[in-house]
Amino acid sequence: MNKIISFIQVKGGAGKSTIATNIAGMMAKNKKVAIIDCDLPQATSASWVSVRGEDITITTASNHIELVDRVTQLQDKHDFIIIDAPPRIAEITKAAIIMSDLCLVPLGASAPEIWSTVDLLETVEAARKRKSDIDVRIIWTRFRATTKAARELSIAATEQLKLKTLDSKLGYRVAYSEAIGRGMTVLEWTDKKAKDELKTLGRELERILEVKFMGEG
C-alpha cells in the first residue's frame, strides 16, 4: 500500500522543498516515488527533478481539484507520493493534509516562522473535521543545537503549537542548498553531518509510517 507525505508551511524559506526533495531522493533508491509540486510558480521540486533525471516522477497541481486528480493517477503506480504544498493557506493545503498519511511542517527556530505557523493550525483543525486521525508533525530545520535560544524557542513552540515534533532535526548546513542545485540529495554530497542527519530522519520516518524504504547503508 502506498504512502503519501505532504510538506506544509505557510512561510516561504522554511526549507519545505529542500526537505521534500531530499526525502524523495532517499526513498527513490529503493522505491518508486512521485512528487506533486504545488508550490507554483516557484516549482523548486519540479526543477530539482528536471536536473536530477528520471528516477522520480514529477507533476504539478495548482488547486485542490488538480491535486486529487494527480494523486488518483499516481497512487497505484508508486510506493510513495510526496506533496510539496504551496506556502499559503488554501483549499489545496487542506486537501493535501486530508489525503496524507503524514504531514510534516518544516520550522526554523525563529519567532516569525513560529508566528506564521499558528495560522496553519486552523487549517489542520478544519482538515481533522474530515479526517480525525491526521498525523501532523513539526520537523526542525536550520537548527543550531548548541544555541540555547534555539533550544528554548523550540520547546516553547512545541507547547504553543500543540503539534508532535520529530526527534530528528536538520542543521543549518550549506550542503542542503548545494545539493539541491545539482539535483542531488545530501546523501550524494560530501557533508557527513548532513548525510547522518538525513539518514536519522529516514529511520524515524520508517518507524512512523511502518514501512521500510532505506537500504543497509
Kindly tell me if the per-residue pLDDT of 19 is higher than 80: yes
100: closest CA among 20, 44, 10, 154? 20
| pLDDT tens digit sequence for 173-192 | 889 999 999 999 999 998 99
Sheet holding 56-60, edge to edge: 56-60, 33-37, 80-84, 3-7, 102-108, 136-143, 164-171
Residues 6+ apart with CB under 8 A from 176: 15, 18, 22, 170, 186, 194
Range of the domain at 203: 3-208
Residue 133 lies in a domain: yes
Mean pLDDT of the chain: 87
Q: What are the cell numbers at 164?
A: 508532535
What CATH number did the domain enclosing 152 receive?
3.40.50.300
Residue 193 lies in a domain: yes
Residue 78 lies in a domain: yes
Beta bridge partners of 6: 83, 103
DSSP characters over 10-61: SSTTSSHHHHHHHHHHHHTTTS-EEEEE-STTT-HHHHHHHHH-SSEEEEE-
207 pLDDT band (50/70/90 cuts)?
A: very high
Residue 32 lies in a domain: yes
Residue pointed to by grid coordinates 539541491: 180
pLDDT score at 152: 58
CB atoms within 10 A of CB 53: 8
| Distance, CA of 84 to CA of 96 (rounded, Å) | 9
Residue 68 lies in a domain: yes
Residue 177 lies in a domain: yes
| pLDDT tens digit sequence for 50-74 | 999 878 999 999 999 999 999 999 9
Q: What are the cell numbers at 116?
A: 506564521
Residue 22 lies in a domain: yes
| Distance, CA of 18 to CA of 22 (rounded, Å) | 6
Number of domains making up the chain = 1
